[in-house]
Amino acid sequence: MKASPARALLFVIGIMLIGWGLAPRLSVPAAAAPLLLVTETSTAEPPTLTPSPTRTENPQPPITVTPSSTATATPIPSAPPDEEDDDPDPTATPTASATPVPTPQGIGPDPAISKSVSPGSAVVGDTVTYTIIAANIGDAPAAGVVVEDTLPAFLAVGEVQTTRGQVSVNGQTVRVEIGDLGPGETVEIRVTARVTAPASAPNNTNLAAISSSSPDANPDNNRASAPLDALAPAVLPVTAVDEGSLAPLLATALGLALVAGSLLVRRKAARRRP
């Protein structure tokens, strides 16, 4: 019984496809030859140490101290008592009184401001809170105190809270009118904002300022800023399918199908023959 040429061709093609598909997976890279480490060993003998002679010190004879003769103390006659001094005590000279130092004048009103942000870094979509402290560190009341905070473009203004004063929001600017602020008084302002875009230095700073209608003793402390690191949201990388890795699998599957088909056809042909 001879095999059909078509059935034999299918069988051979299937075997070839199976072999081509499994060849990349069965190949094993040749192991690299081990490296030989050559160590140079010195054959020279170590030098012999000769002990040096020990130095002997001559002992010194002990020193003997001979006691001297005992001296006899001769009593000294006491001087006769002085006669009573009838002179009166000297008169004390009066000291000059100290010149009074004039009391320094007060420094006057001194409104100051400080600012912080929590958290210090955020991702687009997160909410952050700015805390502003307005205080009068002078020794006189400050009148007409106003705090203004202009948020940068990468932030959207949310809620504003204050312990005292009237709040108004105009676009990106938050304004708090506190009014009179006595010496040592403080006002706390909290501004919440949502991060809408990434930002980095130097474009990530939020500046706030305080002003007063009274003369300011120190204008250098009227501004405060807080930087915020605004990061872009994390994007997961898209994993591409390597078509080269699928080709051997498809070839192996096709080869198995051809071999199975050829064997099935041969089996059915054998059953039909008497």
User: Taking all residues of the chain, what is their mean pLDDT, rounded to a whole number?
Assistant: 75
- pTM of the predicted model, to two decimals? 0.51
- Pairing verdict, β 229-231 and 121-123: parallel
CATH class of the domain defined by 111-231: mainly beta
**Range name among 123-132, 168-177, 224-233, 262-271 with the lowest pLDDT average:** 262-271
- Does the pLDDT of residue 21 top 50, yes or no? yes
Q: Give the mean model confidence (pLDDT) for residues 179-203.
A: 94
Pairwise pLDDT comparison (121 vs 65), residue with the higher score: 121
- Does the pLDDT of residue 230 top 70, yes or no? yes
Confidence at 9, pLDDT banded by 50, 70, 90: confident
Whether residue 205 contacts residue 227, with contact meaning beta carbons closer than 8 Å, is answered with yes
% residues pLDDT > 70 (the chain): 62
Q: Give the mean model confidence (pLDDT) for residues 129-146.
A: 96
pLDDT in tens, 63-116: 443 444 443 444 444 444 444 445 555 454 544 444 444 434 678 999 999 999
